[in-house]
Amino acid sequence: AGAAQGFRIPPIDGDGRHPNVQAEPAFQKGWFEVQDEGSQIVAALAGAEAGMQVLDYCAGAGGKTLALSAEMGNTGQIFAHDAEKARLAPIFDRIRRSENRNIQIVSKPAELAPLSNHMDIVLVDAPCTGSGTWRRRPDAKWRLTQRQLDQRRGEQSEILDAARAFVKPGGLLVYITCSVFDAENGDQVAAFRARHGDFTPVDHRKLWDSRFPSHPAAARLGSDGGISLSPALSGTDGFYVCALRGAGSGR
């Protein structure tokens, strides 16, 4: 669905080896990044625009941070944070290589405090079971336990509750997982809304149709307002994204 805004590297049959694109001069100069198409699609569906103030609350290695920066035309401000500081390590080289000027790393809790109630968008790419990647790691399916799923669900709830504090009145809280389980997706959003009735789902259909007009059926729109991607629907890893707008005036 998103290939029109990038290019797809086809699989190689037989014993052929994939090209080492990270050794290419164009990659070293920051002209492109390598990501699953689904990851780029859900970042686009966050609705980031030029000049916005955005908090990537679970930034990790920074893939979606860079995608958001591109959506914003390298303007505004993106604050990249992760509770596990070590996960942020790759982002520094990626920012240097791409020459992004609108990304700030926020690694300490004290640095987050001034952002409270000020963000146009807070992106929560939540820790999850990773079940959306099972097409590439089918063995992981047999290692997942109910206890691990319950642990992830608890973490997701805590993260969403914490992240909402940074959304300005009328701003967006965008929840993303690479999971295909309703327990981590629509059910999690429903539970959050039961706790915080001042957040309502945003209809993604107009944004999807404007960004991906040639692929109107390449995703599933749930009754909760979220969008699900899958290998069967979109040819990507499994992803879920749901944007919730906070009460009050604003964008």
Pairwise CA distance, residues 132 & 137, whole Å: 10
pLDDT > 70? residue 6: no
- Residue pair 220/242 in contact (Cβ under 8 Å)? The answer is no
pLDDT higher than 60, residue 4: no
Q: Dump pLDDT digits (tens) for 165-188.
A: 999 999 999 999 999 999 999 999
Q: What's the confidence (pLDDT) of residue 143? A: 94
Q: In this predicted structure, what is the pLDDT of residue 129?
A: 97
Catalytic residue positions, numbered: 178
**Tell me, what's the pLDDT at 14?**
61
pTM of the model: 0.89
CA distances, 242 to each of 35, 125, 145, 170 (Å): 20, 11, 26, 16
pLDDT tens figures, 44-86: 999 999 999 999 999 999 999 999 999 999 999 999 999 988 9
Q: Where are the domains of the chain?
A: 47-246
CATH of 47-246, one of 1.10.357.10, 3.40.50.300, 1.10.260.40, 3.40.50.150: 3.40.50.150
Beta strands in the chain (DSSP E): 53-56, 77-80, 103-105, 119-125, 167-177, 199-201, 220-221, 227-229, 239-246
* 93-131 confidence digits (pLDDT tens): 989 888 889 999 998 888 999 999 999 999 999 999 999
Q: What percent of the chain has pLDDT over 90?
A: 60
Return the pLDDT at 77.
97
